[in-house]
Amino acid sequence: MKTLNEENRGKMQTIRDNSSLTQDQKKGRMQELMKETQTKRKSILTAEQWAKLQMKEQQMRTQRPQRAGNSQNKI
């Protein structure tokens, strides 16, 4: 998992740093990368571990303070 997370972080930074992409293109590529990462994580974890991870991610989303404006456009 640690290797997967590090790899994912590097790919996300590459997307963010790519000035030739529009914000919409960056958003699309980030979403594709996240789907890919979720699939890989699910294949690594047991069903119980996957469920715990999903719960933890949901808790983080609900506890995250709301940002001013539409945070979906800020990549």
Per-residue pLDDT at 55:
95
Contact predicate 37/10, CB 8 Å: no
Please count the structural domains in the chain. Answer: 1
What are the φ/ψ torsions at residue 65 (nearest 5 degrees)? -65, 145
* 75 domain residue, yes or no: no
* 70 domain residue, yes or no: no
3-state secondary structure of 38: helix
* 68 domain residue, yes or no: no
* 53 domain residue, yes or no: yes
**pTM, entire model:** 0.71
Average pLDDT rounded to a whole number, residues 21-37 = 96
Average pLDDT rounded to a whole number, residues 37-62 = 93
CA distance 37 to 6: 11
Per-residue pLDDT at 1:
87
Residues across the chain: 75
> What residue numbers bound the domain in which 46 lies?
2-61
